């Protein structure tokens, strides 16, 4: 009979679950972030990196400040001196805490020993690889489950050893209407092999972006979040929103968007015709009628509505 090595769970020491970003990015594990090109995946990942280097809390975290940490950033699509560093500076990062593995002679892959060596060298809390497709290596087929799962399993084991959070950015495919786990470019195991998956999308407003958590194996799914990304104002978190994953991934036609905007504008015009109303009441009524807060804000701008603040509360009105 074959001798087999087994482990009793009585010998296994339980470990407390820790988070780099509560509910969204676990420490010691791999997180995927999917989105179309140009939607802001790189900017979002750098905003998270900036917060880590300063010890700033991220949305949804109650802790006012945390211990600053080091970050490793590998970006195959944007140059360090002209894009990555200027963005980090704009976001307020401590660039002394941001490091990059030199790929000038040898291209980095997910199975490269330099990843763990760099994490250990800098005691990094976060490592970003953007986009993941650029770091799979020639021996790995992104469309074959057995190939992708092996390299992601090895990466996850390394993350657990170092207690570093690994954030992989990936592109979406063009399969509109497909289930979320089939929307990432490449094998479905890019979704199945990691405990947390984030999706980025662009709603109606050109400057607004939405992040929706499509998978969380460790705790309950976190709320959807909005942020603004513009040349004039840079990056700004806007808070929670009601966008679902199905809505984010759905391909709305221009006619559908125009109809929704027109309906929201008509709704807002009607209720503001009676006079000034507290913004929280308008948002609550809007949600009951199928309009998100962001849609109502766009409608307010379109009809020329105004806002004013009194005793800490916002009110909307028509001039």
> What is the per-residue pLDDT for 273?
86
> What is the per-residue pLDDT for 101?
97
What percentage of the chain has pLDDT greater than the value 90?
55
pLDDT one-digit tens code per residue, 144-175? 656 688 889 999 999 999 999 999 999 876 54
What percentage of the chain has pLDDT greater than the value 70?
88
> What is the per-residue pLDDT for 13?
86
Q: Any idea which of 174-183, 194-203, 204-213 has the lowest mean pLDDT?
A: 174-183
The rounded mean pLDDT for the chain is 87
According to CATH, where is 1.10.10.10 located in the chain? 254-317
Give residue 256's pLDDT band: very low, low, confident or very high (50, 70, 90): low
> What is the per-residue pLDDT for 167?
98
> What is the per-residue pLDDT for 259?
76
70-84, 226-240, 292-306, range with greatest mean pLDDT: 70-84
Distance, CA of 297 to chain centre:
23
> What is the per-residue pLDDT for 210?
93
pLDDT one-digit tens code per residue, 63-79? 778 999 999 999 999 99
Give residue 183's pLDDT band: very low, low, confident or very high (50, 70, 90): very low
The 3-class secondary structure across the chain, one letter per residue, is CCCCCCCCHHHCCCCCCCEEECCCEECCCEEEEEECCCCCHHHHHHHHHHHHHHCCCCCCCCCCCCCCCEEEEEECCCCHHHHHHHHHHHCCCCHHHEECCCCCCCCCCCCCHHHHHHHHHHCEEEEEEECHHHHCCCCCCCCCHHHHHHHHHHHHHHHHHHCCEEEEEEEECCCCCCCHHHCECCCCHHHHCCCEEEEEECCCCCCEEEEEEEEECCCCCCCEEEEEEECCCEEEEEEEECCCHHHHHCCCCHHHHHHHHHHHHHHHHHHHCCCCEEHHHHHHHHHHCCCCHHHHHHHHHHCCCEEEEECCEEEEECC
- 47 with 91: CB under 8 angstroms? yes
Q: Is the pTM of this model over 0.85?
A: no
Q: Any idea which of 26-30, 49-53, 185-189, 239-243 has the lowest mean pLDDT?
A: 185-189
Give residue 205's pLDDT band: very low, low, confident or very high (50, 70, 90): low
According to CATH, where is 3.40.50.300 located in the chain? 17-249
Q: Which CATH number fits domain 17-249: 3.40.50.300, 3.30.230.70, 1.20.1290.10, 3.30.420.40?
A: 3.40.50.300
Q: Which CATH number fits domain 254-317: 1.10.10.10, 3.40.1190.20, 1.10.3720.10, 3.40.50.1390?
A: 1.10.10.10
27-41, 177-191, 259-273, range with greatest mean pLDDT: 27-41
pLDDT one-digit tens code per residue, 13-66? 888 889 999 999 999 999 999 988 888 999 999 999 999 999 999 999 987 789
pLDDT one-digit tens code per residue, 87-114? 999 999 999 999 999 999 999 999 999 9
Average pLDDT over residues 203-219: 86
Judge whether residue 10 has pLDDT over 80. Answer: yes
């Amino acid at each position: 009979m074959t001798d087999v090595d087994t482990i009793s769970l009585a010998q296994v020491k339980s470990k407390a679950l820790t988070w780099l970003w509560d509910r969204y990015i676990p420490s010691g594990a791999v997180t995927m972030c999917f989105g179309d090109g140009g939607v802001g995946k790189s900017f979002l990942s750098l905003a998270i990196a900036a917060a880590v280097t300063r010890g700033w809390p991220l949305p949804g975290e109650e802790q006012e400040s945390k211990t600053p940490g080091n970050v490793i950033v590998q970006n195959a699509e944007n140059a360090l001196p002209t894009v990555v560093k200027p963005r980090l500076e704009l976001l307020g990062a401590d660039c002394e805490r941001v490091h990059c593995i030199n790929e000038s002679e040898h291209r980095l892959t997910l199975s490269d020993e330099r990843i763990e060596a760099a994490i250990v060298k800098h005691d990094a809390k976060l490592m970003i690889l953007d986009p993941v497709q650029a770091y799979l290596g020639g021996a790995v087929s992104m469309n074959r489950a057995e190939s992708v799962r092996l390299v992601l399993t090895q990466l996850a084991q390394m993350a657990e050893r170092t207690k570093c959070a690994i954030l992989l950015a990936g592109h979406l495919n063009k399969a509109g209407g497909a289930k979320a786990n089939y929307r990432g470019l490449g094998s479905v195991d890019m979704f199945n092999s990691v405990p947390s998956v984030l999706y980025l999308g662009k709603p109606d407003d050109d400057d607004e972006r939405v992040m929706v958590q499509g998978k969380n194996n460790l705790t309950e799914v976190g709320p959807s979040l909005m942020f603004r990304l513009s040349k004039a104002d840079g990056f700004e978190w806007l808070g929670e929103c009601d966008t679902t994953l199905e809505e984010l991934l759905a391909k709305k036609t221009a006619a559908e968007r125009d109809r929704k905007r027109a309906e929201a504008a008509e709704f807002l015009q009607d209720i503001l015709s009676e006079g000034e109303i507290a913004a929280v009441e308008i948002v609550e009524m809007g949600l009951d009628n199928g309009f998100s807060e962001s849609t109502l804000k766009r409608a307010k701008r379109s009809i020329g509505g105004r806002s004013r603040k009194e005793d800490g509360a916002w009110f909307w009105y028509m001039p």
